[in-house]
Amino acid sequence: MLTPPPFIRGLSEVFGRYEGFILDLWGVVHDGVAPFPDTIPALSSIKKSGRKIWLLSNAPRRASVIIEKLTEMGIPRGLYDGIVTSGEASWQALQESLLGEWGRRCIHIGSSVRDRSLYEGLDIKLVTDPLHADFVLNSGIEDFSDTLEKYIPLLEKCRAQNLPMLCANPDKTVHVKEQLVICAGALAAAYEAMGGQVVYYGKPYRSVYSRCLREMEHSQVLAVGDSMLTDIAGATGVGLDSVLVTLGIHREELVGEGPFESFLARYPYQPTYIMRSFTW
């Protein structure tokens, strides 16, 4: 039987082993609306310990936009050293290579209000008809109440034109408070099931971790996240120790007595530690 990783009450139990921390945002630092109760004290304690903190998010928005949002939530810029987002990585990929390879006529699936920073400043022409598009920019759903079924007809039309898709958020679901909301990763998975080509930017892919680690200049780094498929898989892939926060995206799966062994058995990797919530 698989032995579960050790449970820790907070990062103070293990912080002496690490020179820096990579923290997920949604589900660890905040709930999509506000920081969790222990977030500010935990960030403050890590900073006081002299360790570096980088935030790594699959938000399909540029880093500057997320910094503004965190500040509005009451999370000061001085409590972390830097931030990398899947949206920033996507924007850079479009600028550096993809627009040259694919063309500039783009169908954007997602919110033009929340996610417009994905294409602002780029030589992109937004279109609505797949017949006139070169590629699909997928940042997720327009409204948090939307279901996958709403987007299937558009995805089928895009597939019929053999349009490549850039997925700017590999996450499939996220909690907004208590509401479970589908993300861009769910739309991308449906598109791949149709035979469509998808390019992903964000966790669990190595490139976003490499940026954090390069900036941190440390080898002993601990990653904290709430998703086995993105946070723990990504950390494992780049050789980092990790903490799984159990009150995040998997919380419904971990209700009850002794479910953790069977839960972990679904994955070919496991976290180094388990923690109920992001706490010092």
Higher pLDDT, 261 or 114: 114
Asked, for residue 70, whether it belongs to a domain, the answer is no
Residue 256 has pLDDT above 70, yes or no: no
User: Taking residues 260-269, what's their average pLDDT?
Assistant: 88
Q: Is the pLDDT of residue 185 over 90?
A: yes
Within a domain: 79? no
Which amino acid does the sequence have at 25? L
Question: Residue 98: its pLDDT value, please?
Answer: 97
Q: Give the range of the structural domain holding residue 19, as residue numbers without chain letter.
A: 7-58+203-275
Whether 126 and 152 share a structural domain: yes
Residues 106 and 30 in one domain: no
| Residue where one domain finishes, among candidates 149, 176, 200 | 200
pTM: 0.89
Q: Are residues 194 and 208 in the same domain?
A: no
In-domain check, residue 1? no
Q: Residue 169 and residue 171: Cα distance in Å, rounded?
A: 5
User: What percentage of the chain exceeds 70 in pLDDT?
Assistant: 95
- Whether residue 152 lies inside any domain: the answer is yes
Which of 200, 226, 245 is the C-terminal boundary of a domain? 200
pLDDT for residue 175 is more than 80 = no
pLDDT at 37 over 80: yes
185 & 231 share domain = no
CATH code for the domain in which residue 228 is found: 3.40.50.1000
Q: In the listed set 162, 185, 200, which residue is the last one of a domain according to the structure?
A: 200
What the block records as the tokens of 15 is 């912080």
- 4 prior amide bond cis, ω within 30: no
Give the pLDDT mean for 76-90: 96
**Residue 142 sits in the same domain as residue 217:** no
- Domain total of the chain: 2
Q: Is residue 65 assigned to a domain?
A: no
Are 107 and 136 within one domain? yes
- Residue 45, classified by CB atoms within 10 Å of its CB into exposed (0-12), middle (13-18) or buried (19+), is middle
Does one domain contain both 189 and 102? yes
Average pLDDT over residues 95-119: 96
Highest mean pLDDT among 93-107, 139-153, 216-230: 93-107
| Cα separation, 239 vs 262, whole angstroms | 24
